[in-house]
Chain A
């Protein structure tokens, strides 16, 4: 699976028949993981996991594109890496 999208971000994603609706979970690694494969070889500090049902190809792709687009913003990435609570990460990603 394509996961290490660069800029210190990993987006592991999967489509499985058992999933009912699109799910997303985020984790911040301190220190960042160094042994992750990534297109820019940078250590991965933010992991956003996405799971969708097999037929939800459109929703899953839209979510992947949206996460990628937001994470291109350096200020956004900085705020995420600095977040200290799950609620803060949730607010930044979903809000």
Chain B
């Protein structure tokens, strides 16, 4: 038992390492990192080297559920209610357009193939309806991963996020009705009332549960503000909601997505911090999740007619997504970039489609088709193969769409600029210095002229002796007679804290914040002496960072 657990630990380590290396390699080829995770998973899984066995995947199923819960929560955090209010009609039209077009084209294509192979109209129609319903879903996880990786921002990015967040609900509705119809068509018992009730629980229950958990989480976060505690509370609520959702038959992603959506819109400022922490925490979970997605795929051993279905499914689905979203976007007067590129950004297929195919496999396992395969098996095999194809082709197309729309790299934050900057990028270079033998009267004139409250003091060779500040001189400012005889050296404060022009900006700003320093001299060491070359002023540095963020966003927009 213990050796099996150690094996699992080794497997997790190998998957994380392989996924990270694969992502790095693919990124160098300008292919989204998620493709690297999936490719490594495919290489390690039963479709490749067989390092990750199906029974081990089964034991890691809990991790997948947790990852899906996290993904849902983080995707929900991307959605702002004001965007929905503004674009509700547009999103609904695009959603129905792309979902229904994919449903109809995949359904139509698979019907023709199955009807030719099986010569059984009801059976072909039943299978086609289920294939069509599954085809309408889009995978939010890999799509959002690409949007985050390329720091996308803009109306196309917002529309893609909204559509991938919402179309699971459409897919589940179509699936629920589709499987009911399939069972009815094939002579198996079907209860539309029961199917309707199940859909209501899945969708409305998930949304209600997510909203209630968001309120609980918000209440707890108000009480516990320390970041590590907030992280623990948020993770606990995601796990609890995931458990409740799975236990009650609600849709897991929709539930956690609603929790993220409710939280971010109820308290945007406070929740921003928890979403930032969770995004950092989620990175290795994402890697594992997608490696496992790849490992689960085994395209070997499928009959030829299923490969034809796979081809028809992929073509019909992709064309349906492009055509349907174009029709929806055009009908509602969406921005030209949305009309042109949205369809290309919603190809990815993942958890929901695979989940629905497994459910179909369970529901429709008693309906034989051909070659010893049941309708359920055929759906599971075909959806797995199509998932592999679109997981590899989908993310590069999301990247292509956002690059073409000019939205890649626009989601620049202060943290990005800080991480890429050195102290020299934001320091004040034109800094007045005072010599130690100057009378304070001249210094006070200097302060009145200048715009800095702290000025470096230098010795005879230009070496830094310390700083002088208006704050430090507050006790003598009222007594002007002292200004005539006191010197700079009488009021100099030792500059224990200095930084270098080539120091990472983030490090310098963190240090200043910890010590509550408003300014810090920037020095270069020459002949063992520190010579001031600038001043790092916290307030002005923040302003320059904000200007740089706006400049980069503007450049990208232009």
Contact = CB atoms under 8 A, between A and B. Distances in A.
Do A and B interact with each other, yes or no? Answer: yes
A65 B485 contact: no
Given A4-B485, A5-B485, A57 B492 contact: yes
Given A61-B472, A65-B482, A54 B494 contact: yes
Contacts of B479: 65, 68-69
A21 B466 CA distance: 20
A1 B489 contact: yes
Given A58-B475, A68-B479, A6 B485 contact: yes
B490 A13 contact: yes
A68 B482 CA distance: 7
B484 A39 contact: yes
A65 B491 contact: no
A2 B494 contact: no
Given A61-B473, A61-B475, A68 B481 contact: yes
Interface string A26-66: 00000000000001000000000000001101101110110
B485 A2 contact: yes
Contacts of B481: 68, 72
Interface string B243-258: 0000000000000000
Given A54-B494, A57-B493, A65 B472 contact: no
Nearest to B440: A2
Contacts of A54: 494
B482 A57 contact: no
B487 A57 contact: no
Given A68-B481, A68-B482, A72-B481, A61 B491 contact: yes
Interface residues of B, number: 19
A74 B171 CA distance: 95
A57 B491 contact: yes
Nearest to A6: B485
Contacts of B487: 1-2
Contacts of A60: 490
B486 interface: yes
Interface in B442-490: 466, 472-473, 475-476, 479, 481-482, 484-487, 489-490
A68 B478 CA distance: 12
Nearest to B478: A65
A92 B286 CA distance: 76
A64 B486 contact: yes
B494 A65 contact: no
Contacts of A72: 481
Contacts of B492: 57
A61 B494 contact: no
A20 to B, nearest CB: 16
A64 B490 contact: yes
Contacts of B489: 1
Contacts of B439: 2
Contact of A65 (B466, B475, B484, B493): B475
Interface string B186-206: 000000000000000000000
B494 A57 contact: yes
A58 B472 contact: yes
A2 B490 contact: yes
B103 to A, nearest CB: 75
A61 B481 CA distance: 14
A70 to B, nearest CB: 11
A39 B485 contact: yes
A64 B482 contact: yes
Nearest to A50: B490
A5 B484 CA distance: 8
Nearest to B489: A1
A95 B472 CA distance: 26
Nearest to A68: B482
Nearest to A53: B494
Contacts of B472: 57-58, 61
Interface of B: 439, 466, 472-473, 475-476, 479, 481-482, 484-487, 489-494
Given A2-B485, A57-B492, A61-B476, 6 more contacts: A2-B486, A55-B494, A61-B473, A65-B475, A68-B479, A68-B482
The 10 closest A-B CB pairs, nearest first, are A65-B476, A5-B485, A2-B485, A62-B475, A2-B487, A57-B493, A68-B482, A65-B475, A61-B491, A39-B485
7 contacts: A2-B439, A57-B466, A61-B472, A61-B490, A64-B490, A68-B485, A69-B479
